[in-house]
């Protein structure tokens, strides 16, 4: 059996670790909230804030588990869903509870796959414009089916890595203004305002924290604005679910 696949299928749930992060933040005086709430209420303050962002790449049930835990602890967060992972019941429940729920878009990658684009030079101005039009339709469809979104976040697809162009490159300020959006999550102007930006990691990297390091260390250092990005697929696992998710990821990246 492939060693990486074996490590993946024996991965266990880690929600207790995630809960520990939240409790540690609360015990150390941090406000724990969503991206949009931080942006509107704490961005220019001296408050200590742990900003929670979840990119729901595959595991919508895991997203629901993280939402339930956060709700029980009285905190809020941001969830970005791909079309692949959108589930009406969970998303509407999150929205009613005051959580931020929005689109994890992959428009350029989707267009490139559909049109057999593999080279960076094939992504010309016409392609970018078409992708912007497509994303506009996605936003309109999302808001028609669900609710008004205030921010959005690009998904990192394998095709983007092949092209060397992230999905977020199709969104500029004029596009944000057109759709009355405050920002995109990977906007450098936003990330630069964080005193620490942390992301989780896969079982293959032993779940080591990426970028700024451990959230516990950052909180011990009294960093004021800490953005913590997590992916539910790294936290909510069981044997059968691991097998299902592994094949889902494999087929998605083909």
Number of domains forming the structure of the chain: 1
The pair of three-digit structure tokens given for residue 194, joined into one six-digit string: 């964080």
Could you give the 3-state DSSP secondary structure of residue 222?
coil
In sequence order, the β-bridge partners of residue 154 are 105
**Residue 157 contacts residue 167 (beta carbons within 8 Å):** yes
C-alpha–C-alpha distance, residues 83 and 60, integer Å: 11
Q: Which domain holds residue 225?
A: 3-252
* CA–CA distance, 90 with 109 (Å, rounded to integer): 26
CATH number at residue 75: 3.20.20
Strand, coil or helix: 227: strand
| Cα distance between residue 230 and residue 26, in whole Å | 18
**What pLDDT is attached to residue 240?**
59
Q: Distance between CA 15 and CA 234 in Å, rounded? A: 9
pLDDT tens-digit profile, the chain (254 residues): 566 655 666 566 889 999 999 999 999 999 999 999 999 999 999 999 999 999 999 999 999 999 999 999 999 999 999 999 999 999 999 999 999 999 999 999 999 999 999 999 999 999 999 999 999 999 999 999 999 999 999 999 999 999 999 999 999 999 999 999 999 999 999 999 999 999 998 877 788 899 999 999 999 999 999 999 999 998 876 655 655 656 566 666 76
């Amino acid at each position: 059996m492939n060693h990486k696949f074996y490590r993946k299928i024996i991965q266990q749930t880690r929600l207790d670790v995630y809960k520990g992060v939240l409790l540690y933040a609360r015990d150390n005086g941090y406000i724990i909230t969503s991206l949009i709430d931080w942006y509107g209420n704490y961005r220019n303050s001296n408050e200590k804030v742990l900003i929670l962002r979840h990119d729901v790449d595959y595991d919508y049930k895991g997203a629901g588990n993280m939402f339930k835990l956060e709700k029980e602890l009285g905190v809020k967060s941001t969830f970005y869903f791909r079309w692949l992972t959108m589930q009406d019941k969970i998303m509407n429940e999150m929205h009613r509870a005051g959580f931020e729920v929005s689109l994890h878009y992959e428009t350029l990658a989707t267009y490139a796959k559909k049109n057999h684009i593999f080279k960076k030079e094939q992504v010309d101005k016409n392609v970018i414009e078409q992708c912007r039009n497509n994303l506009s339709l996605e936003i309109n469809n999302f808001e028609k089916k669900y609710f008004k979104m205030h921010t959005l976040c690009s998904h990192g697809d394998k095709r983007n890595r092949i092209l060397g162009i992230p999905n977020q490159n199709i969104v500029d300020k004029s596009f944000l203004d057109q759709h009355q959006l405050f920002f995109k999550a990977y906007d450098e102007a936003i990330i630069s305002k964080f005193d620490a930006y942390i992301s989780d990691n896969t079982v293959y990297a032993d779940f080591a924290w990426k970028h700024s390091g451990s959230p516990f260390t950052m909180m011990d250092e009294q960093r004021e604005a800490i953005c913590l990005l997590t992916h539910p697929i790294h936290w909510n696992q069981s044997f059968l679910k691991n097998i299902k998710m592994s094949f889902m990821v494999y087929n998605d990246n083909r």
